[in-house]
Amino acid sequence: MNSINIFSKCPYSSKCKTRLRNLLNKDERSFLSKYMLINILDEVTNTNHSIINLWIYPHFNHVFFTEIKKKYKVNLYRQEGSNLSERLNHCLYNQSSIHQKVIILGSDIPTLNHRIIADAVKSLNYKKYVIGPSKDGGFYLLGSTIHRNNIFNTFHTEKIRFTNIINTITTNNHDYILLEKLKDIDTKEDLLTI
């Protein structure tokens, strides 16, 4: 089985979509985050032969996630680590210990669909890594077949650049394939141009 892991901040957290504060109030940011997460879950559940895990930060026990777990039959996990790279590393290392193919993706990519996710899983038949670059210089998806992978262990930051991931992969003599570039929703400009 494949492991597909969605990373999401709790839509009810004060840390949710903070860069949109000048455009949206807290309730509107919460609504947007819930909508994008549900959109991703709808797409991921169309992917065959995969275990779906939802990794949540910071409020793991919110009733919203209990409802999501029932509706989508996903496993819920708390993101563990003091920054994003540690939280991603924890997920990837643990999931790659028990699954041959591991995909991690964000929850704020409205144009990500099940076809792209299925292509990512298939790409791991031929390459050690698959990466979906985002238009802001980050990434929206990373997949790997490396057992007990700890690629994120070297970053120690909240913002991981696409170029840094590529450099780490090539420095370790691994191959990769790129998916199409997509836009994630972080800023006012992102939201107004989807």
Reply yes or no on whether the pLDDT at 186 is more than 90: no
Q: Taking the CA of residue 35 as centre, how many other CA atoms within 13 Å lie in the half-sphere pointing to its CB?
A: 10
Range 70-88 average pLDDT: 93
Instruction: Name the region of 148 (left: φ>0; alpha: ψ -120 to 50; beta: rest).
Output: left
> In this structure, what DSSP letter does residue 129 have?
E
CATH of 2-192, one of 2.40.30.10, 3.30.70.980, 3.90.550.10, 3.40.1160.10: 3.90.550.10
The β-bridge relationship of strands 50-57 and 75-78 is parallel
Q: How many residues are there in the chain?
A: 194
Range 80-90 average pLDDT: 90
Structure tokens at 106: 């964000």
* pLDDT cut 90: percent of the chain above it: 59
Reply yes or no on whether the pLDDT at 158 is more than 70: no
pLDDT band at 6 (very low <50, low <70, confident <90, very high): very high
User: Which among 58, 59, 8 has a CA at the least distance from the CA of 38?
Assistant: 8
Reply yes or no on whether the pLDDT at 188 is more than 80: no
Range 69-79 average pLDDT: 95
pTM (predicted TM-score): 0.92
Higher pLDDT, 115 or 156: 115
Range 103-114 average pLDDT: 95
In this structure, of 29-33, 51-55, 58-62, the range with the lowest mean pLDDT score is 58-62
C-beta of residue 7 within 8 angstroms of C-beta of residue 88: yes
Confidence (pLDDT) at 47: 80
User: Which among 178, 166, 64, 78 has a CA at the least distance from the CA of 127?
Assistant: 178
Please name the residue that has the structure tokens 């669909």: 113
Distance CA 130, CA 132 (A): 7
CA distances from 179 to 14, 74, 81, 105, 170 (A): 32, 25, 28, 12, 17
Reply yes or no on whether the pLDDT at 184 is more than 80: yes
